[in-house]
Amino acid sequence: MSEPVLLFEHISKSFFGARALHDVTLAVQPGCVVGLIGENGAGKSTLMNIFGGVLQPDEGRMCLRGRPYRPAGPADATAAGIAFIHQELNLFGNLSIADNLFIDGFPRIGRTPLIHRRQAMQRAEEALAAVDLNVSPKTRIDRLTPGHKQLVEIAKALHRGARIIIFDEPTTSLTSRETHRLFSLIERLRRDGCTILYISHALADVLQLADEIVVLRDGQVVQTGPKEQFDIDTMIGAMVGRRIDQLYPTRRNAPGDRVLMSVCRVTEPGVVKDISFDLHAGEVLGLFGLMGSGRTEVARILFGLDCFQSGTITTGGPSRRRRSVRASVDGGMAFVTEDRREEGLLMEASVTDNMALVALPRYRRRRLLGTFNQRALRRTVDEMVGTLKVKCVDPRTDAVKNLSGGNQQKAVIGKWLLAEPVIGIMDEPTRGIDIAAKYEVYSIINDLADRGAGVLCISSELEELTGICDSLLVMSRGRICGRFRRSEFDEERILAAAFEGHIEHETRNESGAPN
Amino acid sequence: MHSSDNVTARARLGRLMNALLRRVLLSDSFVLFLAVAYFLVLWVFVPRLGSARNLSNLSSNIWPLFVLVIGQMFVLIIGGIDLSQTSIMAIASVCGALLMTSGLDPALFARNPLWGVLISEQGGPLAGSVAAVPIGILAMLAIGALIGLANGVAVAKCRMPPFMVTLVSMFFFSGLAIFITRSENVTNLPAGFLAIGQSYIGHVPAGRSSVGLMPYSFFAGVALASIAWFVLGRTIAGRWFYAVGMNRRAAAVSGVPTDRVIVFAYTISGFCAALGSVLYSSRLGAGRPTLGANVLLDVIGAAVIGGISLYGGKGKVRWAFYGVLFFVVLDSSLYMLNLRFYTVNIVKGVVILMAALLDVLRNRARMDRTPTASMELA
């Protein structure tokens, strides 16, 4: 074996007595893709933050290419040829690709402070070519798809001479085609001798990409080895510390006949077309589709966040053309957004305040004064925190921004459960959360349906939908193009339906050319 | 043996002082401590600062500003800003005065557009009436609330940036105030109105005469503060204010009527500006078209020093009070030092800068205690 390019030796780190990393020792071979897996809070981010110079270890040391490596800050890491591709990309949306690439050092005309524009464009084009991205460097970042933004980020890293690249959940917002493209790029980077650290909850991806897999649990390395030693089950077992026999809770009750929400021919030009379906009491209805298929847009229209041009949505009462969020909430509808940070939570506020927000008017005490029963509300919130096992020190003072992704998601869901919803719309309810938390979210959905509510669950993970849903709608290019009952679930047919519109579209585009 | 005891005792004392310093620095009442400490230090050098007369003066300076800052606080909490408070003060001041005045000098007002229509040599429509003072005050408050309402509608419904909206109404209404008075002060206000700002309850002897303890404005300030405290801390609307300020989109998705909350906040701000106008005008004894021209930065400065965030979502009535106290004590002390106008401004700027620096230190100390978002904890 050659000398490791990167060596962690006995790294430990604690925050206020809470142990985040304990005696982590790890060697990474050059030109190797290392998959780093573990539940939220297992210490992956802490380890990477120490590596990237964001945090200092309490104990232990690191070696880079055989030499001691002690970064004082992120700049040292960059200088050492280390690049981070974060979950949330660090690009300036209002600037062009070229501006973003050179933000910390434009090519200049001689020694003047003037930007050498021609050279900048040329070098930017080269950088983009290195990642096979065929767009003009003048394009503004916010016009790009998430996948393209990520490629720009990688181009930026390579342009700065990065030889060790860390990917943190890079595929969460990518379409399957973009994911595919990313993987071949990673493959090529490895062949060129780059070392890749790949962090992800998508275990299948890790298994496909990585040469070596490292499992972290509770701040310690619990298992490490070549990928041949792993399969999905052993990975999960190592991460959780016990075998999970069941990834999904069993659906206990069959859906009822009572229609809670009837959607008829809902159309908004350019967004969705002819959406019709019924949601029954006690039903978990899945809505599957690729990114951009219109699945999130349907959810937003149903909840009253976006408007639609024609069609009707009936929920118990009379059908209304103009829907408002307030009316939806009052009518017992819940909406778990896919965007926790922007739409789901008040990040600075406490867990309690967040969870109390929706149910607040239900605890009104005096109409005229507008007061509410603070004690009763607190008590129910505390109960909900206990029921959902939201992990925090003190829900009344802990800001939700300090919680892990899974616990944040539980706070969002808890906030809606407190309003005792009749219809639950869940948009990517398990995005970015770990397996144990996922199971808990599935159980919550299950319980909600058992209590007679109807749940519309949107996801880009087909497996989870087939695991928890009674029936499934498949969307493609703004239309529903497949309906499946539980007995008819078949991954291939569902995927075929989801890709249907795309295939049609492409054949039409290519119809002019032969073959 | 003895000396090592001494060393440990000293170390313990050091630790104790350190802990105490942290407590003070992180305390919710930090700005209050700062104001009191500043006052005490300056008192040593300027004994006049603690005189009964000056204390009485301080007390009558605090409350009108406090009223304005409370209003501003509501808007700051929802993540907005209200620059129009000062022009609301001006327009409310002249409108109220024109209604209540019992005599106008024709030499000054004959060219006024309202001359002969609403006002004459005998004063305004309410001149001499028993109800002049209550109706006049109500009219002033209504004007303030209405302008605030208009600001709020423009911000919430038309989605215009609050800075622009309130800047425009600042220009518009201060211009209007000057226009309808032709830049003249409106005097001859009813004695009942003047009493609000000029009378005190409780007197203490000071030298040959005596000075008042609590001006009437004290009661206006305390009443308003109590209501504001109740609304923010005890009502559903209070929770909504903070929620909208922290994340308007998330609040809307959670069923909070964000537009109404925003309109409400600006209306409160306008109302408070008008109430401030009542207090300032009565103290001045006139309706003045340029009333409050220099107050805007005091209002926002006091709010920010008190710890109310310009980014929204943070603010307490207590903080507003501490900020005002600090500002007024600072102002008065600089005046006492007999500094020239520009020196006062320089010193004021330096002191505010120090306060801001201390605030940064506080936030950093607080950060050290709670983990930040980037650190993932189980």
Which of A303, A335, A402 is facing B371, going by the closest CB pair? A402
The verdict on A328 touching B (C-beta cutoff 8 Å) is: yes
Percent of residues, chain B, with pLDDT higher than 90: 43
Low-confidence stretches of chain A (pLDDT beneath 70): 1-2, 16-18, 40-41, 87-89, 242-246, 317-322, 500-515
3-state SS class at A159: helix
User: What's the gap in Å between the CA of A376 and the closest CA on chain B?
Assistant: 13
Residue A108 CB burial class (10 angstroms; 0-12, 13-18, ≥19): middle
User: Rounded to 5 degrees, what are φ and ψ at A336?
Assistant: -90, 110
CB contact under 8 A, A357 and B243: yes
Chain A positions in Cβ-Cβ contact with residue B309 (cut-off 8 Å): none
Beta bridge partners of A483: A473
CA distances to B37, B162, B258, B345 from B303, in Å: 19, 17, 23, 18
Which of A360, A402, A415 is facing B377, going by the closest CB pair? A402
Count of structural domains within chain B? 1
Give the nearest chain B residue to A300 (CA atoms).
Answer: B253
Task: Convert the pLDDT of each residue in B59-83 to its tens digit.
Answer: 888 999 999 999 999 999 999 999 9
CB contact under 8 A, B313 and A404: no
User: What's the gap in Å between the CA of B365 and the closest CA on chain A?
Assistant: 14
Looking at residue B259, its pLDDT comes to: 94
Could you give the CA distance from residue B113 to residue B106 in angstroms, rounded to a whole number?
13
Does A6-240 match A259-332+422-509 in CATH topology?
Answer: yes
Q: Is residue B367 part of a domain?
A: no
Query: Are A101 and A124 contacting, i.e. CB atoms less than 8 angstroms apart?
Result: yes
The verdict on A306 touching B (C-beta cutoff 8 Å) is: no
Query: Are B82 and B267 contacting, i.e. CB atoms less than 8 angstroms apart?
Result: no
3-state SS class at A282: coil
Q: Over 80: is that where the pLDDT of B341 sits?
A: no
CB contact under 8 A, B246 and A347: yes
Q: Is residue B6 part of a domain?
A: no
The verdict on A396 touching B (C-beta cutoff 8 Å) is: no
Looking at residue A513, its pLDDT comes to: 40
Homologous superfamily (CATH) for A259-332+422-509: P-loop containing nucleotide triphosphate hydrolases (3.40.50.300)
3-state SS class at B22: helix
DSSP classification of residue A2: P
Chain B positions in Cβ-Cβ contact with residue A406 (cut-off 8 Å): none
User: What's the gap in Å between the CA of A44 and the closest CA on chain B?
Assistant: 9
Looking at residue B147, its pLDDT comes to: 97
Looking at residue A413, its pLDDT comes to: 92
The verdict on A49 touching B (C-beta cutoff 8 Å) is: yes
Q: Please indicate whether residue A66 or residue B372 has the higher confidence score (pLDDT).
A: A66
- What are the residues whose beta carbons fall under 8 Å from the beta carbon of B15, sequence distance 6 or more? none
CB contact under 8 A, B242 and A353: yes
Interface subset of A 243-302, CB within 8 angstroms of B: none
Which of A20, A44, A399 is facing B377, going by the closest CB pair? A20
Structure tokens at A102: 């050179």
User: What's the gap in Å between the CA of B232 and the closest CA on chain A?
Assistant: 10
3-state SS class at A398: coil
Q: Over 50: is that where the pLDDT of B374 sits?
A: no
| Parent domain of B162 | 29-360
Looking at residue B226, its pLDDT comes to: 96
Q: Over 70: is that where the pLDDT of B128 sits?
A: yes
> Count of A–B CB contacts within 8 Å?
109
User: What's the gap in Å between the CA of B361 and the closest CA on chain A?
Assistant: 19
Which of B242, B250, B373 is facing A344, going by the closest CB pair? B250
The verdict on A17 touching B (C-beta cutoff 8 Å) is: no
Looking at residue A89, its pLDDT comes to: 66
Structure tokens at A301: 């229209």
Chain B positions in Cβ-Cβ contact with residue A54 (cut-off 8 Å): 374
Q: Domain with B230 in it: what CATH number?
A: 1.10.3470
CB contact under 8 A, B235 and A402: no
Which of A342, A346, A364 is facing B236, going by the closest CB pair? A364
CA distances to A398, B146, B326, B345 from B228, in Å: 25, 19, 20, 31
Could you give the CA distance from residue B28 to residue A328 in angstroms, rounded to a whole number?
39
Looking at residue A88, its pLDDT comes to: 65
Q: Please indicate whether residue A430 or residue B2 has the higher confidence score (pLDDT).
A: A430
CB contact under 8 A, B376 and A45: yes
Task: Convert the pLDDT of each residue in B48-64 to its tens digit.
Answer: 888 888 888 888 889 99
Looking at residue B367, its pLDDT comes to: 63
Chain A positions in Cβ-Cβ contact with residue B257 (cut-off 8 Å): 326
Could you give the CA distance from residue A114 to residue B347 in angstroms, rounded to a whole number?
40
Chain B positions in Cβ-Cβ contact with residue A326 (cut-off 8 Å): 255, 257
Q: Is residue B112 part of a domain?
A: yes
Q: Is residue B159 part of a domain?
A: yes
CA distances to A90, B229, B289 from B315, in Å: 31, 11, 31
Looking at residue A87, its pLDDT comes to: 65
Q: Please indicate whether residue B332 or residue B73 has the higher confidence score (pLDDT).
A: B73
Chain B positions in Cβ-Cβ contact with residue A415 (cut-off 8 Å): 254
Beta bridge partners of A15: A18
Looking at residue B206, its pLDDT comes to: 66
The verdict on A425 touching B (C-beta cutoff 8 Å) is: no
Could you give the CA distance from residue A391 to residue A410 in angstroms, rounded to a whole number?
9
Which of B243, B252, B369 is facing A325, going by the closest CB pair? B252
Q: Over 70: is that where the pLDDT of B377 sits?
A: no
- Maximum C-alpha span of chain A: 77
Looking at residue A503, its pLDDT comes to: 47
Q: Please indicate whether residue B341 or residue A282 has the higher confidence score (pLDDT).
A: A282
Which of A46, A337, A349 is facing B246, going by the closest CB pair? A349
Could you give the CA distance from residue A394 to residue A376 in angstroms, rounded to a whole number?
18
Q: Is residue B365 part of a domain?
A: no
Beta bridge partners of B205: B210
The per-residue pLDDT of chain B, averaged, comes to 86
The verdict on A92 touching B (C-beta cutoff 8 Å) is: no
Looking at residue A514, its pLDDT comes to: 41
% helix, strand, coil for chain B, step of 5:
70, 5, 25
CB contact under 8 A, B373 and A356: no
Q: Give the closest residue to B145 by CA, choosing from B196, B92, B94, B197.
A: B92
Class of A6-240 in CATH: alpha beta
DSSP classification of residue A360: G
Chain B positions in Cβ-Cβ contact with residue A45 (cut-off 8 Å): 374-376
Could you give the CA distance from residue B38 to residue B333 in angstroms, rounded to a whole number?
9
Could you give the CA distance from residue B242 to residue A357 in angstroms, rounded to a whole number?
11
Q: Is residue B366 part of a domain?
A: no
Structure tokens at B264: 């409400």
CB contact under 8 A, A329 and B254: yes
What value, to the nearest 5°, has the Cα angle with vertex A358 and ends A353 and A361?
100
Q: Is residue B123 part of a domain?
A: yes
Query: Are B239 and A356 contacting, i.e. CB atoms less than 8 angstroms apart?
Result: yes
Could you give the CA distance from residue B319 to residue B301 in angstroms, rounded to a whole number?
12
Task: Convert the pLDDT of each residue in B206-215 to its tens digit.
Answer: 666 667 777 8
The verdict on A1 touching B (C-beta cutoff 8 Å) is: no
Chain B positions in Cβ-Cβ contact with residue A16 (cut-off 8 Å): 369, 371
Which of A42, A335, A346 is facing B243, going by the closest CB pair? A346
The verdict on A399 touching B (C-beta cutoff 8 Å) is: yes
Could you give the CA distance from residue A433 to residue A455 in angstroms, rounded to a whole number?
20
Any idea where the domains of chain A sit in the sequence?
6-240, 259-332+422-509, 342-420
CB contact under 8 A, B375 and A41: no
ipTM of the complex: 0.80
Of the candidate ranges A392-396, B4-8, B9-13, B287-291, the one whose mean pLDDT is the lowest = B4-8
Give the nearest chain B residue to A366 (CA atoms).
Answer: B235
Give the nearest chain B residue to A358 (CA atoms).
Answer: B254
